[in-house]
Structure formats: structure tokens, C-alpha cells
């Protein structure tokens, strides 16, 4: 059984590396930086969501990406208007947006999540108090 578990981890690592080098990251993000975990196809994210190491890497990447988007857009918006989700809600939102299109990369699913949160904030601002 241990050999199966180690094989599973090895295949996951190989798939992460392969996916991060095979996808053109510039097609999903304005910068040409290596997206790392963000370039991984959502089907892999969903398949390994129970793996503690994978979950940690994915959560950290999503949080850093959301922080980066908040920072880059803070000059265009009020500093108070930032996408902010609890870590648990952010994780489930990540899985939800990955589940909508498992063939998309994580970065695209995360941008959809950010856009949806931004739209929700705008709707809440329009409502009378």
C-alpha cells in the first residue's frame, strides 16, 4: 500500500511540473512570470484536493494570487475594496470554480472567483442600506 501512495505522490508531482511547463501562462495573465501551481489544469486540482501537501500548495498559491490582484487593482479602487475571503471559503470557492470547467488552468478559475467577488461587492454597494 505504501508503494501505491508514493506512486500517487510521484505522479502528482510529475503532473504539476508537466502542466506548469506545458501551458502558456501568458495567455491567462498579463505578466510573463511562471505561474507554477496556477498553470495546473483544474482537473488535477480536483483529483488531488484531499492530498494535504497539494491542498497546502494550492491554498497558498490562490491566496498569494488574490493578494497580488488586490494590490495591482488598489490604485484603481478604494483601498477598502479588496476581495477578501476566509481561508475555508476561499478553498471551497476554488474547488467550485475549478469544477465549472476542469480543463481550465487554476489561474483562470481563480480570476473567475475574484471577478464574482468583485461583482458581489459592487452589487452590495448599489443596494440601499
> What is the value of pTM for the model shown?
0.69
- Say whether pLDDT at 110 is over 80: yes
The pair phi, psi for residue 85, each rounded to 5°, is -125, 150
The reported pLDDT for the residue numbered 101 is: 96
**Axis crossing angle, helix 52-73 with helix 87-100, rounded to the nearest 10:** 90
**Enclosing domain of residue 112:** 2-126
Distance CA 65, CA 110 (A): 8
Is the Cβ–Cβ distance between 41 and 49 less than 8 Å? no
Is the Cβ–Cβ distance between 61 and 37 less than 8 Å? yes
Distance CA 47, CA 42 (A): 8
pLDDT band at residue 81, thresholds of 50, 70 and 90?
Answer: confident
**3-state DSSP percent of the chain in helix, strand and coil, to 5:** 70, 0, 30
Q: How many domains does the chain have?
A: 1
22-31 pLDDT, tens digit per residue, is 433 333 444 4
Comparing 49 with 128, the larger pLDDT belongs to 49
Distance CA 27, CA 40 (A): 13
45: nearest Cα among 106, 110, 111: 106
Amino acid at each position: 500500500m505504501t508503494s501505491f501512495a508514493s506512486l500517487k505522490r510521484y505522479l502528482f508531482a510529475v503532473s504539476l511540473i508537466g502542466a506548469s511547463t506545458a501551458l502558456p501562462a501568458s495567455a491567462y495573465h498579463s505578466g510573463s512570470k511562471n505561474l507554477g501551481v496556477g498553470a495546473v489544469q483544474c482537473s488535477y486540482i480536483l483529483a488531488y484536493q484531499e492530498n494535504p501537501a497539494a491542498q497546502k500548495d494550492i491554498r497558498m498559491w490562490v491566496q498569494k494570487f488574490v493578494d497580488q490582484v488586490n494590490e495591482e487593482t488598489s490604485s484603481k479602487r478604494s483601498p477598502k475594496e479588496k476581495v477578501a475571503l476566509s481561508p475555508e471559503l476561499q478553498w471551497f470557492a476554488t474547488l467550485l470554480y475549478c469544477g465549472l470547467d476542469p480543463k481550465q488552468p487554476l489561474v483562470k478559475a481563480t480570476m473567475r472567483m475574484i471577478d464574482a467577488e468583485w461583482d458581489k461587492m459592487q452589487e452590495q454597494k448599489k443596494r440601499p442600506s
